[in-house]
């Protein structure tokens, strides 16, 4: 299944909300893709469980929609694998299932899914459930302090702490570390960082990112930002 991109539906960080759909039925993939793109989401597709895992690890989508019955790992197996990895513990996951029995629905939710939708799919219901899930998470996470290891990052007070000791950062330095730490292990491209931290109205170059990364490393006293040569940066401890 080819990768499909659409125009942006912007999230709190000014980045397109990205949705990965995994289903082995081309017609269902196309219906879901079409309706989510109309809503303004960025859509990725996969035709089986293994491809879903590969795409998830490459793009780190905001939401993953998994058909339970798929070849090369079913939806439940994919969910279990992703949930064991720190980068996907908070990723939204919805199951698609033709199985309407209560035990299947409970198993899916216990595996780590946030919601499930029964087939045959109503496009309007699907879009409504997706929108509602994003709204719920946005309201919950607005102003949420990130805690990674001994580091705390408070977006409301613009404060970074290490072992409860406050570290003073400039505004753009803070925005940079908060962006990277929001998805530990994910590589953020240079252009992506420039757009989300500095915006389109300010013209800055790659050197600006490098300087800010160096300053953040110096002030924190720990090297939690890893350079991926020729690509970008990622946060890891």
Band of pLDDT at residue 65, cut at 50, 70 and 90: very high
- Alpha helices, DSSP H, located in 112-181: 123-141, 171-181
Local structure of 96: helix, strand or coil: strand
pTM of the predicted model as reported, rounded to 2 decimal places: 0.61
pLDDT at 231: 86
Rounded Cα gap, residues 233 and 227, in angstroms: 5
Specify if 49 maps to a domain. Answer: yes
Provide the domain limits for residue 204: 146-235
Segment 129-152, tens digit of pLDDT: 898 888 777 655 656 788 888 999
Domain co-membership, 222 together with 192: yes
Number of domains into which the chain is organized: 2
CATH number at residue 169: 1.10.10.10
Domain co-membership, 40 together with 77: yes
């Amino acid at each position: 299944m080819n990768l499909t991109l659409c125009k942006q539906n912007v999230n709190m960080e000014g980045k397109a909300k990205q949705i990965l759909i995994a289903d082995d039925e081309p017609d269902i993939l196309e219906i879901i893709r079409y309706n989510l793109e109309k809503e303004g989401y960025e859509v990725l597709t996969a035709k089986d469980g293994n491809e879903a895992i590969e795409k998830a690890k490459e793009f780190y989508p905001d939401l993953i929609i998994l058909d339970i019955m798929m070849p090369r790992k079913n939806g439940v197996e994919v969910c279990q694998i992703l949930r064991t990895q720190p980068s996907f513990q908070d990723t939204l996951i919805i199951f698609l299932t033709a199985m309407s029995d209560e035990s299947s629905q409970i198993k899916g939710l216990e595996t780590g899914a946030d919601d499930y939708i029964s087939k045959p799919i109503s496009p309007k219901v699907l879009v409504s459930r997706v929108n509602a899930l994003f709204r719920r998470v946005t309201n919950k996470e607005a102003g949420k302090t990130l805690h990674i290891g001994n580091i705390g990052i408070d977006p409301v007070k613009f404060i970074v702490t290490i072992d409860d000791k406050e570290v003073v950062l400039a505004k753009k330095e803070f925005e940079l570390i908060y962006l990277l730490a929001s998805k530990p292990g994910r590589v953020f491209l240079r252009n992506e960082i420039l757009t989300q931290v500095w915006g389109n109205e300010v013209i800055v170059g790659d050197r600006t990112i490098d300087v800010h990364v160096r300053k953040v490393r110096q002030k924190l006293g720990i090297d939690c930002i890893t350079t991926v040569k020729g690509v970008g940066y990622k946060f890891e401890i």
